[in-house]
Structure 1
Amino acid sequence: MSSLNPDRGALLRALAILSGALAVALYCWGLLQVLGAALEAEDGGTDSAPVRPCRTAGPQERGGAEVVDYSVGYVPLRFVCETRGGGSYATDSVPGYVNPGAFGFALAGGLLAVGAGYEAELRARRAATPPGEQTGTTS
């Protein structure tokens, strides 16, 4: 096995931090979208029924006429309109790339952090082994 580059651990840690930061940024962007929709839903007045974020151009049952309430989901991020009769549907308030992107970056960041830890363990084992001794062989 060839020796690992001493900077590989630092690179893996930097990539893990970058990936984690991108996951947090995407999640915050989606959270802003959900909170904006919730603020718009809470805005009372003449044009407040049905709830504005629940007004969609689609089938009649999703047109907003039967919407009685809404809820917000945080994992995954979504704005859900609740209809009369117990039904519900998620609106497109959160862009479609936010939830999978945040999950993907978080997963990649976690895997990169594990890889950085593994590389540090390998480096520590190499440093602890005397130069003339082979590891893992018995006669």
Structure 2
Amino acid sequence: MSPDPLQEHNFVSLMGIVLIALVAVTSLVAYAWVCVARRRPALPAALRAGAALCAAGATGVYAWGAVQLLRFDITVHAEACRQAVGASRASRVDGYEATYFPLRFGCHVAGDGTYTAGVPGWLNPTALALGLGTVALVIAAAAASPDFRERCARRLRALSPAPFGEHS
């Protein structure tokens, strides 16, 4: 539990996240479009476009959670906590816990832990899965690139010993 028992998200920070995410999603979708439109070489371009779309999806999902928290002001904390912890424990809520990574708002119940409220339960796992998909597609795009394959072949030839009987 943080030193401030009523910790909550900063409105300006959440607005900044939403605005930056809008720019990032737009840019990533435009990049994916350009990758698909060029199509040379086809596989690396498709993988880069997929990575850009996965990154746009992860960013968009995270921004959606920030929007949910923007509308989640102090006037609805008590009701959201009552729904999250149940009516029997609602009177024992002794503080709030807000985090940005993962994005969540928690209602702390004395002796019973913290319950998430305000952010859909699917949001953080979905953003994580899309982020991991982005990383996998970026690695695959790099490996499929002709430049990468040529550099690897050159390094392999440089490392491999000369055949028996040949000396350089």
Length-normalised TM-score, structure 2: 0.58
The yes-or-no answer on 1:88 pairing with 2:113 is yes
Structure 1 or 2, whichever has the larger Rg, is 1
Aligned length: 119
Equivalent of 1:77, from 103, 108, 119? Answer: 103
How far the C-alpha of 1:75 sits from its partner, in A, is: 1.7
The match for 1:112 is 137
Tell me the SS of whatever aligns to 2:91.
coil
Q: Could you tell me which amino acid in structure 1 is paired with residue 43 of structure 2?
A: R
The percentage of aligned residue pairs carrying the same residue is 32
Equivalent of 1:56, from 80, 83, 107? Answer: 83
With over 3 angstroms needed to count, the CA separation of the structure-2 counterparts of 1:106 and 1:30, relative to structure 1, is same
Where in structure 1 are there 5+ consecutive unaligned residues?
Answer: 129-135
CA deviation vs aligned residue, 1:21-71 (integer Å, no higher than 9, x gap): 00000011112223332x1xx23xxxx7x722201273612xx21223212
Task: Give the conservation status (yes or no) of the 8 Å contact 1:16–1:110.
Answer: yes
The match for 2:125 is 100
Tell me the SS of whatever aligns to 2:130.
helix
How far the C-alpha of 1:117 sits from its partner, in A, is: 1.3
Q: Could you tell me which amino acid in structure 2 is paired with residue 60 of structure 1?
A: S
How far the C-alpha of 1:110 sits from its partner, in A, is: 0.9
How far the C-alpha of 1:6 sits from its partner, in A, is: 2.5
With over 3 angstroms needed to count, the CA separation of the structure-2 counterparts of 1:13 and 1:137, relative to structure 1, is farther
Indicate the larger mover: 116-125 or 26-35: 116-125
Task: Give the conservation status (yes or no) of the 8 Å contact 2:106–2:117.
Answer: no
Query: What are the within-5 Å matches in structure 2 for residues 3-14 of structure 1?
Result: 6-14=41-49
With over 3 angstroms needed to count, the CA separation of the structure-2 counterparts of 1:82 and 1:74, relative to structure 1, is same
The match for 2:51 is 16
CA deviation vs aligned residue, 1:74-128 (integer Å, no higher than 9, x gap): 2222211123x454322342112211110010000111111111222015567x7
Q: Could you tell me which amino acid in structure 2 is paired with residue 103 of structure 1?
A: L
Structure 1 or 2: larger helix share?
2
How far the C-alpha of 1:8 sits from its partner, in A, is: 0.8
- Counterparts of 1:54 and 1:116, CA distance in 2: 45
Query: What are the within-5 Å matches in structure 2 for residues 32-51 of structure 1?
Result: 32-37=67-72, 39=73, 42-43=74-75, 51=78
Length-normalised TM-score, structure 1: 0.69
Tell me the SS of whatever aligns to 1:65.
helix
Tell me the SS of whatever aligns to 1:109.
helix
